[in-house]
Amino acid sequence: MGHGLLRIVFELDSSAWHGNATERLWVEPVGEGRFRLRNSPFFAFGVSSEDIVFGEDRGGQLCFAGVSIRGGRSTYRLKLGGHSRGTAAFQEYWNPLEKLGCSYEEGPVLSVDVPASADIYVVYGLLEAGEAAGIWVFEEGHCGHPLQGESGGTTGGST
């Protein structure tokens, strides 16, 4: 990623589909024991890029210890079906998401970062359309957008 960034370790359930016990994400220090996430998780739930998290040293590793401040972004993961990301079919379903400001990191899945400015309901509908068309299967890693009907209307849900 870049200079001045560190890696923070998230503990995972190794019995999940991915089989990993940990995931390391890039963070930048923002204060005593607090770090801003600089990329989206492929496996960890409950966090998104730009969230500020608490980190603590455990045996010489910086480990996730909780969320301090939400960044307002959401994370979804796409498992591609029979269409790789280079195909016209994938692009047909991805392009509307990209126009809304969504981006992805490529790894074992596509980790989709949804910016705070995007309408999460439109994004979710587009993700569902891609799934219905067999382009991908998706899961929600974290919804940091405000949802209709929430008390106060200022915090997003999470899974």
| Nearest-angstrom CA–CA distance, 153 and 159 | 17
Angle between helices 88-99 and 120-132 in degrees, nearest 10: 170
Is the distance from CB of 41 to CB of 111 less than 8 angstroms? yes
* CA nearest neighbour of 36 among 6, 75, 61, 77: 6
Q: Is the pTM of this model over 0.95?
A: no
| Nearest-angstrom CA–CA distance, 1 and 4 | 9
Is the distance from CB of 128 to CB of 134 less than 8 angstroms? no
Residue 99's region, left for phi above 0, alpha for psi from -120 to 50, else beta, is: alpha
Residue that is written with structure tokens 């455990």 in the block: 58
| Nearest-angstrom CA–CA distance, 76 and 109 | 10
Return per-residue pLDDT of the chain as tens, 159 residues: 557 899 999 999 888 888 889 999 999 999 999 999 999 999 999 999 999 999 999 999 999 999 999 999 999 999 997 767 778 999 999 999 999 999 999 999 999 999 999 999 999 999 999 999 999 999 999 999 998 886 544 334 444
